[in-house]
Amino acid sequence: MNDKLIKELNQLLSDFHVYYQNTRGAHWNIKGPRFFELHVKFEELYTEALTNIDEIAERILTIGGRPDHALETYLEKSNIKSVRDESNDEKLVKMIVNNLTTLLAQENKVKELAVEAGDNETEDMMIGLVNAQEKTQWMFNSWLGK
C-alpha cells in the first residue's frame, strides 16, 4: 500500500465531488439564449464526473486504501471551491475551465506518484482522465473565444 498515492487519490476524490456538484448546479441554474446547448453539455459533464468518482474510489480500495466518503471531508479538503447562485453562461463556463485546471493538476500529481510506485493501472487511469479533460477544457476555451 502506498499511503502517499492513496492520500492524493483521496484529494482527487474530494476535488471531483465539488466539481460534480458545481456542474450539477450549472446544469440546473443556467439561463439565457445558450441554455439548451449548455444545459445538455453540463449534464454530460456531471454524468461523466459521477462515473469518475466511482472509479477513483474503487481504485483507492483496490490498492489497499479507504476512500473518503463524508461531504464535510470533501468540502474541507477540496482545492475546488463550491459555486453558488450562478446562472450566467460565460461565468459558468469559466468556472468549469478553472475547475478542470485544478483537476488536471491533481491528476498529473497522482500520475507521477503512480509512476514512482510502479502502479501502471493508476497511471493509465490518470492518463485517460487527463486526455478527456484537456479536450473538454480546449472546447470550452474555444467556446469562450480563446
Please give the full DSSP string across 48-67, using - where no structure is assigned.
Answer: HHHHHHHHHHHHHHHTT---
**Mean pLDDT along residues 47-76:** 97
CATH of the domain at 43: 1.20.1260.10
pLDDT at 115: 98
pLDDT at 1: 73
What's the CA gap between 129 and 141, in Å, rounded?
Answer: 18
* DSSP string over 62-95: HTT------HHHHHHH-SSPP--S---HHHHHHH
Q: Are 122 and 9 in contact (CB under 8 A)?
A: yes
pLDDT at 81: 97
Query: In total, how many domains does the chain have?
Result: 1
What's the CA gap between 109 and 88, in Å, rounded?
Answer: 32
Is pTM beyond 0.95? Reply is yes
Q: How confident is the model at residue 6 (pLDDT cuts 50, 70, 90)?
A: very high
pLDDT at 49: 98
Which structural domain range is residue 110 located in? 3-143
Q: Which three cell numbers stand for residue 146?
A: 480563446
pLDDT (tens digit, 9 = 90+) per residue, 23-59? Answer: 999 999 999 999 999 999 999 999 999 999 999 999 9
Residue 112, classified by CB atoms within 10 Å of its CB into exposed (0-12), middle (13-18) or buried (19+), is middle
pLDDT (tens digit, 9 = 90+) per residue, 85-101? Answer: 999 999 999 999 999 99
pLDDT at 122: 98
